[in-house]
Copies of this chain bind each other. A is one copy, B any other.
Amino acid sequence: MQVYGDLQSGNCLKVKYIADALGVPYEWRDVPSGTGATTTSEFLALNPAAQVPVIVLDDGRVLAQSNAILRYLARDSRFLPADAFAAAKVDEWLFWEQYSHEPYVAVARAHVVYKGHTIESRDANLVARAEKALDRLEQALSGSDFLTGPALTIADIALLAYTRLSPQGGFDLTGRPAIRRWIAACEQELGLPALAAVN
């Protein structure tokens, strides 16, 4: 399998996290964000939506969308429940992540990391929505080890990626103890370096 992605992107890191956790071998092909590398004719032939990550299976079949890739790679593994309703509750988080978390938490971080915004000059509406998403996560994790219960699933991997990087965008996790405990638990489960080393 080939993975086209950028290791600075949470969406791409999701693919690395699940492939590493499952021991699926892959060749990483670096496609740096914000350089026009996703709008070349060669890349558009892979993914007309001009987004990373993209995976190319050994038989040449192509799959885009980070959460669709998570779901595909995690099928029949401990990271995606076999029970249909339990899997649907995982899906609920995957769609919430792409609609109500990533567009705010990740975009606010991107403005700081890639576009030179200061913490003070961040877009107030974006920050408010990001804070609301982090509050919702804190609430959900206060009563549960992982997002859908006692075991880590791809719902956690999807939310972990940008939540873990959110301090780079000026978001304060110190007042969110459930998120911090959950990040540490995910790091341990997935064999990732500790949060302090990332930020």
Q: A154 → chain B, closest Cβ, in Å?
A: 12
Chain A 87-103 near chain B by CB (<8 Å), digits 1 or 0 = 01101101110111011
Residues of B within 8 A of A49 (CB): 96, 100, 136
Asked whether any CB of chain B lies closer than 8 Å to the CB of A72, the reply is yes
Q: Decide yes or no: A88 and B72 within 8 Å by CB, A95-B95, A95-B98, A136-B49 being known contacts.
A: yes
Q: Decide yes or no: A92 and B64 within 8 Å by CB, A49-B100, A99-B103, A136-B48 being known contacts.
A: yes
Question: How many of these chains are in the complex?
Answer: 2
Do residues B98 and A48 form an inter-chain contact, with CB atoms below 8 A? no
A99 to B94: give the CA distance in the assembly, Å. Answer: 11
With a 10 A CB-CB cut-off, give which of A49, A57, A69 has the most chain B CB atoms: A49
The listed residue (B61, B68, B139, B140) touching A95 by CB distance below 8 A is B68
The listed residue (B57, B72, B88) touching A68 by CB distance below 8 A is B88
Chain A positions within 8 Å of B, measured between CB atoms, are 48-49, 57, 61, 63-69, 71-72, 75, 84-85, 88-89, 91-92, 94-96, 98-100, 102-103, 136, 139-140
